[in-house]
């Protein structure tokens, strides 16, 4: 416990120091027509997630070196992109290298090729979804606490990952939440934050799935998955560029057009995901047939609710 308190204080100091650096070098997020905020705000506060993982790496004697190398590459390129807006080609090359390093740490290269291929697709997809979903105050923090909390619960009896990697990273999330979970946020996570925490949680989730041999744990990401996948499909149907910034997610329609309190939306996303995760943990002990029925029911039910709510909100609040 003493160690966690010391790490928390250290991370808080690092975050406050970053604020001074960001303010000095004008690392800010200016609102535009696609933004869900209206005032200039410091960008990149989510770098504290990386600091948490870095402290773990040092104290552990450099445990998970390939993972940390990939995380460092991903964090660095995302931070530079927050400042300079890099070309997509450069970002994609670094992301590709980072995911390969994670795959190597997970020993996917020793498995049949389709494990590596499917793992690569899932990791790249989830990291980008996590980044796209970071659009209102508190949503990245609430959702990360939910997913990280679920992983910690399973780790108590499964021991699939070093506990301190998750704890130190989530301490960073708590610190970030203090400055972000406000009507007027002190800082935003930035690409550096959303990408870093997604990379960390995905690594832990990958270890869990590989150790248990159970894919049902992917439902720890079901809420983000539903919103991201359906939004992409809807944008593709309208022949839009899915890589351009937009305000087409359900949470954005609820917060911007319908006027629902954005902090309430963020809390709701995290809370519902946590409840679903608790059910996943319970069902994970059941037979494959039960898990299949459960997974199908959850994904189908969430999709139906999502589409109905989104259509209703758009019809009522969005001007054609």
Q: Indicate the DSSP class of residue 243.
A: T
Q: How far is CA 233 from the centre of its chain?
A: 20
Compute φ and ψ for 30, nearest 5 degrees: -90, 135
CA neighbor of 317 nearest in space, from 239, 235, 250, 244: 250
pTM equals 0.94
d(CA 295, CA 120): 22
Does residue 191 have a known ligand-binding role?
yes
Q: Are 182 and 137 in contact (CB under 8 A)?
A: yes
Q: Is the pLDDT of residue 37 over 70?
A: no
Those residues with Cβ within 8 angstroms of residue 101's Cβ, 6 or more apart along the chain or in another chain: 66, 67, 69, 70, 73
* Residue owning tokens 């870095």: 54
State the pLDDT at residue 30: 64
Q: Is the pLDDT of residue 38 over 70?
A: no
Which of left, alpha, beta for 162 (phi over 0: left; psi -120 to 50: alpha)?
beta
CA neighbor of 201 nearest in space, from 238, 157, 148, 156: 148
CA neighbor of 277 nearest in space, from 194, 216, 195: 216
Render pLDDT for 73-96 as a digit per residue (tens, 0 to 9).
999 999 998 888 788 888 889 999
Render pLDDT for 102-134 as a digit per residue (tens, 0 to 9).
999 999 998 888 888 888 888 988 998 899 899
Does residue 23 have a known ligand-binding role?
no
Render pLDDT for 256-276 as a digit per residue (tens, 0 to 9).
899 999 999 999 999 999 999
State the pLDDT at residue 320: 59
């Amino acid at each position: 416990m003493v160690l966690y308190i010391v790490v928390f204080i250290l991370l808080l100091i690092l975050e406050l120091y970053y604020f001074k650096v960001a303010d000095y070098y004008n690392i800010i997020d200016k609102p535009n027509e696609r933004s869900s905020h209206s005032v200039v705000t410091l960008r990149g506060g989510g770098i504290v997630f990386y600091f948490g993982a870095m402290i773990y790496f040092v104290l552990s004697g450099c445990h998970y070196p390939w993972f940390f190398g990939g995380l460092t590459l991903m964090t660095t390129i995302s931070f530079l992109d927050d400042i300079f807006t890099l070309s997509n080609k450069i970002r994609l090359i670094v992301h590709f290298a980072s995911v390969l390093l994670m795959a190597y740490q997970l020993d996917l290269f020793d498995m049949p090729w389709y494990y590596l291929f499917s793992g690569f697709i899932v990791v790249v997809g989830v990291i980008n979804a996590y980044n796209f979903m970071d659009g209102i105050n508190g949503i990245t923090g609430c959702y990360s606490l939910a997913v990280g909390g679920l992983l910690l619960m399973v780790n108590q009896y499964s021991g699939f990952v070093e506990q301190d990697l998750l704890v130190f990273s989530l301490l960073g999330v708590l610190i970030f939440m203090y400055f972000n979970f406000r009507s007027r946020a002190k800082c935003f996570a930035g690409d550096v934050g959303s990408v870093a925490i997604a990379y960390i949680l995905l690594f832990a989730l990958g270890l869990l799935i590989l150790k248990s041999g159970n894919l049902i744990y992917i439902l720890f990401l079901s809420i983000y998955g539903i919103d991201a996948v359906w939004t992409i499909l809807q944008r593709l149907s309208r022949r839009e560029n899915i890589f351009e910034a937009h305000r087409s997610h359900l949470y954005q329609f609820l917060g911007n057009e319908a006027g629902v309190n954005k902090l309430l939306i963020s809390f709701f996303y995290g809370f519902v995901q946590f409840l679903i995760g608790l059910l996943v943990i319970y069902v994970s002990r059941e037979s494959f047939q039960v898990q299949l029925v459960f997974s199908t029911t959850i994904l189908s039910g969430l999709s139906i609710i999502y589409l109905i709510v989104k259509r209703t909100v758009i019809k009522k609040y969005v001007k054609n």
